[in-house]
């Protein structure tokens, strides 16, 4: 058995998750030329994570039916999955959104700061902090007069998103870096509860299982999309008062139901409690403590349903001095040295994909599946914690191990170059073209049973079988 360059990161991941008897013999990987314009070894890391998801789904299928589906994928599809939203078309037009305000700015003393304003309230809050209108020249002039660290700290104090750009050595000096390094990539823990077997049968590995998806943007919603891809009934619950980015709602919405629950109302609280009481998995990917403050912390969910698998996903982890700090993929790249790597003499730049979001989303789905396997085999209630920063730490470690991908293209492939991987669907949003699922089971590609729908399209109750 040869898993190519993905073998080392896959073994490392399985060791971190303590899945010692993973059925590796069921996995086949086809090596393809590198696709993305970066020297980071994105392909083997993405292939390892997707391979782990496939193996967990195969194992669940075995436990439910006695069948042993073989898992296969190729490195090109896995790598491109890390840039999924970049290959989304709505009515034949590219759908990816980024506010022009968002980006890197030169600060005082030769430093840089990253300002995240893809949501209007975050952008307007940073403009107020800087005391300028939404004009590029005015923003650049205001930032140039301030220290990057001062902007970062004041933004955090105001609940906004800005990051002083650090090199890797600078990041490793932070106490938060040490706190993250002390944690496993996937922290899976068992609590007390009686055994809860998997529902028998079903056409797909996760048929009969329900996931409550409380998340926004990319990483959390991707975990829910992945569970739906393999047959779970996934209910994404959000608030009508929270802003969203339509392209990401579409990209991460395949396979899901979508409901509103307003937690400032008795009806919304009751609906969310009822959903949790009949769920198998609940994912909390909101700002740490946000749901707990509203009566929906992990222990609150366990009181409603002692057999739940609880997933917690954050930016900078739930440990260390930065626990609770807001963040997105780009902010974590800027903070952990990724945006400065190889940029000597030039300004910082983000990777040409969002690997922290997508890898962490797939890792969360893997953790959920592994927890379901453990719940079936050992009983107990299970909880998993993951963070974008822990994924960044793993990416750095694996880069040190695997080395750089020197023979990378100068630009990411355009739509025409990936046309063989795209599928077009009729949806409530129009004609949506997107990358198809990468994993195959016994040669048959995974599919979505439902197309994306606008947030709040479905009633806040589990659909009848």
pLDDT tens digits, residue range 310-330? 999 999 988 899 987 888 999
Question: What is the signed CA dihedral for 97, 99, 100, 101, rounded to 10 degrees?
Answer: -160
For residue 465, pLDDT beyond 80:
no
Write out the two tokens for 170: 């600078």
What pLDDT is stored for residue 426 in this prediction? Answer: 97
What pLDDT is stored for residue 104 in this prediction? Answer: 97
Among 190-199, 338-347, 442-451, name the one with the lowest average pLDDT.
Answer: 190-199
Q: Identify which of 117, 176, 224 has the alpha carbon closest to the alpha carbon of residue 389.
A: 176
For residue 1, pLDDT beyond 60:
no
Helix axes 388-402, 355-378, angle to 10 degrees: 100
Q: Identify which of 148, 151, 104 has the alpha carbon closest to the alpha carbon of residue 128.
A: 151
E runs forming strands in 340-450: 381-387, 422-427, 430-435, 440-441, 444-445
Averaged pLDDT, 14-40: 95
pLDDT category of residue 288 using cuts at 50, 70 and 90 = confident
For residue 2, pLDDT beyond 80:
no
Q: What's the Rg (C-alpha) of the chain? A: 21
What pLDDT is stored for residue 193 in this prediction? Answer: 66
pLDDT category of residue 51 using cuts at 50, 70 and 90 = very high
E runs forming strands in 184-277: 187-191, 210-214, 233-238, 257-260
Three-class SS of residue 94?
A: strand
Query: What is the C-alpha to C-alpha distance for residues 80 and 241, in angstroms, rounded to an integer?
Result: 33
**Does the reported pTM lie above 0.85?**
yes
């Amino acid at each position: 058995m040869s898993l190519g360059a993905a073998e080392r990161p896959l073994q490392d991941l399985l060791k971190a998750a303590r899945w010692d008897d993973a059925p590796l013999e069921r996995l086949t990987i086809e090596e393809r030329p590198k696709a993305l314009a970066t020297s980071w070894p994105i392909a083997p890391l993405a292939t390892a994570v997707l391979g782990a998801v496939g193996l967990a789904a195969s194992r669940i299928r075995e436990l439910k039916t006695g069948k042993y589906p073989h898992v296969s994928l190729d490195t090109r599809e896995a790598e491109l999955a890390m840039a999924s939203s970049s290959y989304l078309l709505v009515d034949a037009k590219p759908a990816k959104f980024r506010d022009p305000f968002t980006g890197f700015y030169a600060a005082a003393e030769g430093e840089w700061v990253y300002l995240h304003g893809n949501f209007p309230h975050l952008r307007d809050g940073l403009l107020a902090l800087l005391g300028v209108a939404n004009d590029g020249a005015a923003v650049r002039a205001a930032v140039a007069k301030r220290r990057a660290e001062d902007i970062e700290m004041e933004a955090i104090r105001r609940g906004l998103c800005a990051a002083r750009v650090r090199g890797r050595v600078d990041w490793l000096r932070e106490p938060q870096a040490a706190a993250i390094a002390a944690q496993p990539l996937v922290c899976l823990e068992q609590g007390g509860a009686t055994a809860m077997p998997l529902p028998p049968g079903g056409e797909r590995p996760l048929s009969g299982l329900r996931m409550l998806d409380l998340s926004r943007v990319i990483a959390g919603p991707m975990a829910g999309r992945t569970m739906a891809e393999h047959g779970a009934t996934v209910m994404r619950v959000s608030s009508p008062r929270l802003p969203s980015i339509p392209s990401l709602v579409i990209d991460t919405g395949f396979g899901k139901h979508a409901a509103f629950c307003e937690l400032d109302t008795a009806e919304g609280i009751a609906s969310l409690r009822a959903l949790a009481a009949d769920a198998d998995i609940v994912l909390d990917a909101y700002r740490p403590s946000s749901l707990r403050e509203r009566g929906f912390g992990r222990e609150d969910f366990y009181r409603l349903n002692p057999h739940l698998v609880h997933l917690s996903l954050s930016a900078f982890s739930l440990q260390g001095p930065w626990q609770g700090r807001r963040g997105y993929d780009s902010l974590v790249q800027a903070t952990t040295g990724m945006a400065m790597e190889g940029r000597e003499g030039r300004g910082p730049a983000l990777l040409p994909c969002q690997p922290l979001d997508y890898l962490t989303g797939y890792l969360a789905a893997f953790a959920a599946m592994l927890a379901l396997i453990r719940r079936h085999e050992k009983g107990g209630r299970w909880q998993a914690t993951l963070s974008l920063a822990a994924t960044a730490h793993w990416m750095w470690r694996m880069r040190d191990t695997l080395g750089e991908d020197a023979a990378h293209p100068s630009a990411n492939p355009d739509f025409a170059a990936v046309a063989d991987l795209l599928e077009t669907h009729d949806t409530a949003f129009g004609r949506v073209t997107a990358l198809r699922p990468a994993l195959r089971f016994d040669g048959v590609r995974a599919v979505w049973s439902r197309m994306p729908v606008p947030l709040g399209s479905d009633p806040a109750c589990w659909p009848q079988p």
